Amino acid sequence: MKSGKNIIRNLSVSALAKKALENHEVIQSKTGALIVYTGKFTGRSPKDKYIVDTPKIHNKINWGPHNQPISEKSFELLYHKIINFLNTQKEVYVVDSIVSASEKYSLKLRGYFQYAHQALFASYMFRNLDKNQLKNFSPDLTLYAFPSVYADPSIEATKSEIFIILNLEKKIILIGGTKYLGEIKKSVFTFTNYYLPENGVFSMHCSANTDIYEKESALFFGLSGTGKTTLSADISRKLIGDDEHALSNEGIFNLEGGCYAKCIGLKKESEPQIWKAVNRKNALLENVVIDNQGNIDFEDSRHTENTRAAYPLSFIENSIASGIGPHPKYIIFLTADAQGVMPPIAKLNLNQACYHFLSGYTSKLAGTERGIKEPQPTFSAYFGAPFMPLKPMVYLNLLKKYLKKYEIKVFLINTGWIGGKYAVGKRISIEETRNIVSAILLGKLDNTPCQYNKIFNLYVPEFVPEINQNILDPSFSWTNKNQYQQEAKKLAFLFNENIKKYQGLVLDSIINSGPKP
């Protein structure tokens, strides 16, 4: 690879924003936020993500639809294709940064980007370095993201022209054929989820915040659209981060330096902190609709339901700059049940926590992946299986270790629908979910009596302050109670079918902690 004048290194945020505007990569709104459109691909392409299969890593990887093998030969062909393309470009943008707020478990990342707005995104997503740290910078991990480089399936043995390839042994990530910015973020996260557990650190797909005194923290696990970002951005608490964290004996640490928030339907009244952040100058909005006068319309989903906003953590006023917090007192598993049958809250014991961690149930919402047009039930282990390359017991054993060691309490919260399934019922309001979360974090539900939900084998608090108590029994809001029973049993059956793949791997006490249709 050449190191000539085409390589532009470590520009400031303002310089990258200026470049992106000059190159007509983005347009600017009245608020100063930058809008980028990603064209054909407005979500992740999980079927186009691969891990290079080498003898050294082969037995460690949980091979399957989320972790597809690709040969070293295919990797080399695409690597050289990217390098050849890079060397022909007038400008290539390089960003050097740090992954992880923990100095002990940090990774030095160097990213090469075709577009200035990609470099801006990386400057937000990963932790920035000062001038002294940039001197003699030597990366642990190198990423190349060039949307104009396409794979040829007949030559490189990919499934399409898109490729996201992780070479865990060489510590190189290749991304081509797609402009969707989430591929940059999630491919790096996948690498950390390979690296950190080997050091006894629990890497997690979750958001995190603390009380105002930074004495107690809470973690929010959940797939896209379940509320991780929304619920962790709380004016009464301090934000550590919105999506990717790790837990060690020293405490929690953020793996990122910014947020990548879903913003479809964003409202100032219900999400004031996020609203303010995405409307700041140089916030980077992805596939959001803007009119000819520069006004943003967060309700318009003409390009995708998966509209996004990237911004640094500093845009959230009560964020913790260090990205570090104490061990959690509470863990909340979030699901967005579009079947409208699960209770809005349940208390989980250790076995139930393990069961629901392995299940990772939610409804996959429109737009987050190619081809998803309306919500559909999905099970994603650890609430993030597409990003977890190691075998299930690695992550499960780390969960059990930290739950026991720090006596962490676990709750399951449904942020989905009530009164019927998607398009029939309505979604539980953000206000009521926030009140449920608040009751948990204030300790008001630690010892409250519970009622037993027979179908889902869950213990639901009999009373939660500041909410409509009728929603605690999900069947109450259904007009046709028999139909509720049928739909609830259908979902319970799906839980049972999904957990079967872990029989023989985990204790029967965990397998038997799920729904009982």
The tally of domains found in the chain comes to 2
The CATH number of the domain holding residue 420 is: 3.90.228.20
Same domain, 123 and 241: no
| Residue among 19, 29, 44, 179 flagged as catalytic | 44
Amino acid 29 reads S
Please report whether residue 281 resides in a domain. no
pLDDT at 517: 81
Question: Is the distance from CB of 243 to CB of 229 less than 8 angstroms?
Answer: yes
Please report whether residue 2 resides in a domain. no
Q: Judge whether 224 counts as a catalytic residue.
A: yes
Last residue of a domain, one of 148, 172, 195: 195
**Full 3-state SS string of 353-414:** HHHHHHHCEEEECCCCECCCCCCEEEECHHHCHHHCCECHHHHHHHHHHHHHHCCCEEEEEE
Q: Which of 95, 233, 70 has its CA nearest to residue 162? A: 70
DSSP-based three-state secondary structure for 244: strand
| Residue among 158, 203, 229, 368 flagged as catalytic | 229
Please report whether residue 334 resides in a domain. yes
Please tell me the distance from the alpha carbon of residue 363 to that of residue 35, in angstroms, as a whole number: 28
pLDDT at 372: 58
Distances from the Cα of 405 to the Cα of 49, 200, 398, 402, angstroms: 35, 14, 11, 5
Please tell me the distance from the alpha carbon of residue 389 to that of residue 392, in angstroms, as a whole number: 9
Same domain, 65 and 147: yes
Q: Which residues contact 258 (CB under 8 A, 6 or more apart)?
A: 124, 125, 126, 310, 311, 312, 313
Please tell me the distance from the alpha carbon of residue 110 to that of residue 142, in angstroms, as a whole number: 5
Same domain, 451 and 380: yes
Last residue of a domain, one of 143, 172, 195: 195
Please report whether residue 1 resides in a domain. no
| Residue among 19, 185, 308, 356 flagged as catalytic | 308
Please tell me the distance from the alpha carbon of residue 6 to that of residue 66, in angstroms, as a whole number: 36
DSSP-based three-state secondary structure for 436: helix
DSSP 134-156: HTT---SEEEEEETT----HHHH
DSSP 65-114: SSSEEE-HHHHHHHHHHHHHHHHH-S-EEEEEEEE-S-STT-EEEEEEES
Same domain, 179 and 206: no
- Over its length of 517 residues, how does the chain's per-residue pLDDT go in tens digits? 555 679 999 999 999 999 999 999 999 999 999 999 999 999 999 999 999 999 999 999 999 999 999 999 999 999 999 999 999 999 999 999 999 999 999 999 999 999 999 999 999 999 999 989 999 999 999 999 999 999 999 999 999 999 999 999 999 999 999 999 999 999 999 999 999 999 999 999 999 999 999 999 999 999 988 999 999 999 999 999 999 999 999 999 999 999 999 999 999 999 999 999 999 999 999 999 999 999 999 999 999 999 999 999 999 999 999 999 999 999 999 999 999 999 999 999 999 999 999 999 999 765 555 555 677 899 999 999 999 999 999 999 999 999 999 999 999 999 999 999 998 999 999 999 999 999 999 999 999 999 999 999 999 999 999 999 999 999 999 999 999 999 999 999 999 999 999 999 999 999 999 999 8
**What number of CA atoms fall less than 13 Å from residue 298's CA on the CB side?**
17
| Residue among 19, 49, 205, 238 flagged as catalytic | 205
Q: Judge whether 434 counts as a catalytic residue.
A: no
| Residue among 224, 232, 415, 477 flagged as catalytic | 224
Instruction: Show the domain range for 244.
Output: 202-258+322-511
Q: Judge whether 130 counts as a catalytic residue.
A: no
Same domain, 118 and 221: no
Same domain, 160 and 252: no
| Residue among 19, 228, 329, 400 flagged as catalytic | 228
Please report whether residue 271 resides in a domain. no
The helix, strand and coil proportions of the chain, stated in percent and rounded to the nearest 5, come to 30, 25, 45
The CATH number of the domain holding residue 122 is: 3.40.449.10
Q: Judge whether 205 counts as a catalytic residue.
A: yes
Same domain, 371 and 411: yes
Q: Judge whether 44 counts as a catalytic residue.
A: yes
Q: Judge whether 302 counts as a catalytic residue.
A: no
Q: Which residues contact 276 (CB under 8 A, 6 or more apart)?
A: 315, 317
Please report whether residue 314 resides in a domain. no
pLDDT at 369: 55
Same domain, 169 and 234: no
Please report whether residue 471 resides in a domain. yes
Question: Is the distance from CB of 159 to CB of 45 less than 8 angstroms?
Answer: no
Q: Which residues contact 358 (CB under 8 A, 6 or more apart)?
A: 381, 382, 392, 396, 499, 502, 506, 510
Please report whether residue 99 resides in a domain. yes
| Residue among 190, 243, 307, 438 flagged as catalytic | 243
Same domain, 176 and 243: no
C-alpha 386: how far from chain center: 10
Q: Judge whether 270 counts as a catalytic residue.
A: no
| Residue among 186, 238, 364, 434 flagged as catalytic | 186
Q: Which of 430, 435, 407 has its CA nearest to residue 236? A: 435
Same domain, 109 and 253: no
Same domain, 210 and 331: yes
Same domain, 327 and 191: no
pLDDT at 266: 96
pLDDT at 173: 99
Please tell me the distance from the alpha carbon of residue 190 to that of residue 217, in angstroms, as a whole number: 24
Last residue of a domain, one of 195, 222, 248: 195
Q: Judge whether 186 counts as a catalytic residue.
A: yes
